Amino acid sequence: MKILTCQSILQHRPTLISSISFGVLRKLGPRRWFSAHSEEPELKELMEYMDSLKNYEKVGVPKGAGTDSDDGFDLGRMRRLMERLGNPQAQFKAVHIAGTKGKGSTAAFLSNILRAEGYSVGCYSSPHIQTIRERISLGRFGEPVSAKTLNCLFLQIKKILDQAIEHENGRISHFEIFTAMAFTLFARENVDIAVIEAGLGGARDATNIISSSGLAASVVTTIGEEHLAALGGSLESIAMAKSGIIKHGCPLVLGGPFLPHIECILRDKALTMSSPVVSASDAGNQSTIKGISRMNGRPYQSCDLVIQTERDFKLFLELLDVKLCMLGSHQLQNAATATCAVLCLRNLGWRISDGSIRAGLEHTFLLGRSQILTSKETEALGLRGTTVLLDGAHTKESANALVKTIKLTFGKPPLALVVAMASDKDHVGFAREFLSGGELEAVLLTEADIAGGKSRTTSASLLRDCWIQASKELGIDIVHDGMTKSREVFNNLLVCSTSKLENGTILAAGSSLMASLMATNQILRERAGNQSGIIVVTGSLHIVSMVLAALSG
């Protein structure tokens, strides 16, 4: 693969392009068309209040913050806050989910299975895509909490929150306050069960205030290197942090697969807590993807799901031809993990039928997880005739999973990426997975605000340098605009001359997402001919949010 890099490429309106130089992409800058999705006016006071708090999603997590150590978050602070609110977390049963990847999808699968059985379910997850209300869902239908309900709760408990913040010298965080609000809503709505996704790690996460008497089961999905510094600097320390959600006598469900010594850490912790263990990766579990089909214009994967465990709990389930809208082998693994959790609940006396498990799995869909836009949506973005896939992958593991999902779903089509990432990610490792995964027509590197701020945003030019580094590590020949022999070519290269680059991947940086999308579409049109090209928007759920905000605005 040959990579040709330049500082910028193409203009934002392909219909007007005739002799625009590569420099125009950078000059265009950000557009209001891709402004962040604004919250409902009814939530104005709440959002202003939340914005006044320390938000680690926006500024980054300190070193060691997620470890069970002197450097870790102060869980006592969260307990004191909950005491002021009457300890609502003691009023419902919960499934607590931790892990590097797959938490949100597993929580969604599990919540929908329980809802299909008729239970009233509270689900708490993060981050959100378009509105903070997405983080809390209530009842039997899985809709985000209403702005009215959220605002009423805030007004009712604001005085208590003010007192707690003052008592803690202003150290209570955005995540702690919203977690407290979610748990209060679950108690007030008298949910049958809550599915709770940990934010960071597990041991010192604000969600880890659930006692063993309130915990129905804990789940650890995967262990990877994300948030390495915040979680102790090694896979082993990350595993220890995640294992902090295991409670005495409560079942532990493992997703995986894990490295053997990492699984040993989790199992050893479970053993000390007298917690039975069920693994979705056990040899007796045979889950397979049989093929990709389409229904109502959207793809789904037909799967066989077979669970058969013998250790600790004896569980068995066979579901054939399950139609998963969540694509990829990693999503099948998440579905299997959620199913194991459900079977544990059933073993403990919860009423859950096989039919409800199937229905819950098949009706699960999340924004920004291998989400393929409809033809109407792509046309609204000005990308008619191109397939657009949105995926919030932001680690090398999730990049690898996305590459496999694209191949499984589409084969080997003309493919281009539009990428924006947070500053605390492994940019080179992420790039390496895509570059080694097959031919790319273009990679357009751009920028996205992270949690509404720029402090964790990676510049497009820095991302470009990381992709160049990754290509060098892979032994891929590079021609870029820093080379004397090619600088003149790039400076004078016009859009109408992109056919000269048909044997190489175009790598470009620009701050405008709109321009990057339009440029990518133009490249695919020129190179794909009669074939339909695919644009993958990835690197962060925040860039996905920007695209979806454009559609909803």
Q: Is the pLDDT of residue 461 over 80?
A: yes
pLDDT of residue 12: 35
Residue 6 has pLDDT above 60, yes or no: no
Rounded mean pLDDT of 304-321? Answer: 93
Pairing label, strands 121-124, 136-137 = antiparallel
> With 70 as the cut, is the pLDDT of residue 472 above it?
yes
Question: Given a cut of 60, is residue 34 above it in pLDDT?
Answer: no
Given this model, what pLDDT does residue 249 score? 97
Fill in the amino acid letter for 129: I
- Rounded to whole angstroms, the Cα distance separating 277 from 255 reads 11
Residue 8 has pLDDT above 80, yes or no: no
For the chain, the distance separating the N- and C-terminal CA atoms, rounded to the nearest angstrom, is 39
Phi-psi region of 310 (alpha: psi -120 to 50; beta: other; left: phi over 0): alpha
Per-residue confidence (pLDDT) for residue 38, from 0 to 100: 56
pTM of the model: 0.91
State the pLDDT at residue 483. Answer: 54
Q: What is the pLDDT of residues 192-235, one digit of tens each?
A: 999 999 999 999 999 999 999 999 999 999 999 999 999 999 99
pLDDT at position 13: 34
Decide if pLDDT at 60 tops 50: yes
Give phi and psi for 504, each to the nearest 5: -130, 160
Give the Cα separation of 191 and 216 in Å (integer). 14
pLDDT at residue 33 tops 50? no
* 45-363 and 371-552 have identical folds: no
Query: Taken in order 350, 353, 358, 364, is the CA torsion positive or negative?
Result: negative
pLDDT greater than 80 at residue 500: no
Q: 388-446 pLDDT, tens per residue?
A: 999 999 999 999 999 999 999 999 899 999 999 999 999 999 999 999 988 898 899 99
Cβ count near 320 (within 10 Å): 11
Residue 455 has pLDDT above 60, yes or no: yes
> pLDDT at position 22, please?
41
**CB-CB contact of 280 with 340 (8 Å):** yes
Residue 230: per-residue pLDDT: 95
How does residue 553 score in pLDDT terms, banded at 50, 70 and 90? Answer: low
- What is the predicted pLDDT for the residue at 503? 63
Q: Which strand ranges, in their side-by-side order, compose the sheet holding 415-419?
A: 371-372, 387-390, 534-538, 415-419, 442-445, 504-509, 2-6, 478-479
- CB atoms under 10 Å from CB of 452, counted, come to 12
Which residue from 80, 114, 84 is spatially nearest to 194, judged by alpha carbons? 114
Please give the share of the chain, as a percent, with pLDDT higher than 90. 75
Domain-wise residue ranges, the chain = 45-363, 371-552
Asked whether 447 and 511 are in contact (CB, 8 A), the reply is: yes
* Architecture per CATH, 45-363: 3-Layer(aba) Sandwich (3.40)
Could you tell me how many residues make up the chain? Answer: 553
pLDDT band for position 5 (50/70/90)? very low
CATH superfamily of domain region 371-552: Mur ligase, C-terminal domain (3.90.190.20)
| Listed range (150-159, 341-350, 519-528) with the worst mean pLDDT | 519-528
